[in-house]
Structure formats: structure tokens, C-alpha cells
Amino acid sequence: MEPSNTYLTLLIISNTNFMSRVKNILQFKRYLGLDWGTKRIGLAIGDSETKIAMPYGVADNLAAVLKVIQEEEINEIVIGLPLAMKQSSNALQNNFVVFLEALKKKTSLPIKTIDERLSSKAADARGGDKKSKAPRDAVAAMIILEDYLLRN
């Protein structure tokens, strides 16, 4: 006895729905870590499954960050909050707020901020520099994202 076309159609639809549910269960969050600076923005990518962050590179502007968000299918953004060790210029913090507000307007993704103090010094200790394959800003972004992933 051969299965009817209706039976085969139902079987295909059933399997498609099943595979879709399995995919949703297995899907994990992808994070983009940002080390914002007035000249460059360090980028790192990590995920909720491995809780490992890797340096991704640097961006010169918000448009480049948005491109990475789309290309890498990012689900959440973690950005280092530049809290000065010494009370330094408010201009730096004002520029950061302008960037953060622009980012919020351009994406509907959740954006988390995390204290980034000493992330650049930690990046230097890990070998990030301007000439390496993992620039200092990207390593600092990785450290910011690692900190967030370990706490959440």
C-alpha cells in the first residue's frame, strides 16, 4: 500500500515544523562586544553556548558596526561604559552617550553596558597592539564581552 499524497504532504509539513523547533532549541545567542573610543570601536564576537569571546576587528563608525551586526547575525550588544578612573572630561562621556543613543535608534537589539575600566590595560597585557592581528581595541572588546558572558 502506497502512502497518499495527503499523507506525504502532512509528513513533510510535520517534519519541517519539527526541524524548525529543533533549530530554535539549538539556536544560541550571538553577542557583539564593543570597546568604544573616539577614534575606533573595538569589536569582539561571542555566544551564549560556549561563553567564549574572540576579537573581531575594529570599526571606524556606527555604519561599520551595524554592518557587522547584520552579517554576523548578532542578537545582543555589550558595550563598555567609559567610567573614568579619575574624573576626566565630560566631553568623552557626552560623545559616548551620543554614540549609544545613535546605536539604539539604528537597532532594536538589546544593548547592555558594562564597566570597561582597565580593559585597554588588560588588552595590552594580553598582547593586543596596533600592529598585531588582534588590535588592542578588539582585544579590549573581547575582555569586555568575556566579563559580561562570565557574569550572565
Cell numbers given for 142: 573581547
H helix runs in 27-89, sequence order: 62-71
Question: For the whole model, what pTM was predicted?
Answer: 0.73
Task: List, for residues 30-81, the tens digit of each pLDDT value.
Answer: 999 999 988 899 999 999 888 999 999 999 999 999 999 999 999 999 998 8
Q: What is the pLDDT of residue 127?
A: 60
Q: What is the pLDDT of residue 125?
A: 53
Which helix (H) or strand (E) element contains residue 119? helix 119-125
The answer to the question of residue 132 being in a domain is yes
How far is Cα 77 from Cα 45, in angstroms, rounded to an integer? 9
Total of domains in the chain: 1
| 3-state secondary structure (DSSP) of residue 105 | helix
The answer to the question of residue 19 being in a domain is no
Task: List, for residues 7-22, the tens digit of each pLDDT value.
Answer: 444 444 455 555 455 4
Confidence band, pLDDT 50/70/90 cuts, at residue 109: very high
The answer to the question of residue 12 being in a domain is no
CATH assignment of the domain containing 105: 3.30.420.140
Cα end-to-end distance, the chain, whole Å: 55
The answer to the question of residue 69 being in a domain is yes
The answer to the question of residue 5 being in a domain is no
The answer to the question of residue 18 being in a domain is no
Q: Domain range for residue 36?
A: 28-151
The answer to the question of residue 34 being in a domain is yes
The answer to the question of residue 17 being in a domain is no
Task: List, for residues 130-146, the tens digit of each pLDDT value.
Answer: 555 458 888 889 999 99
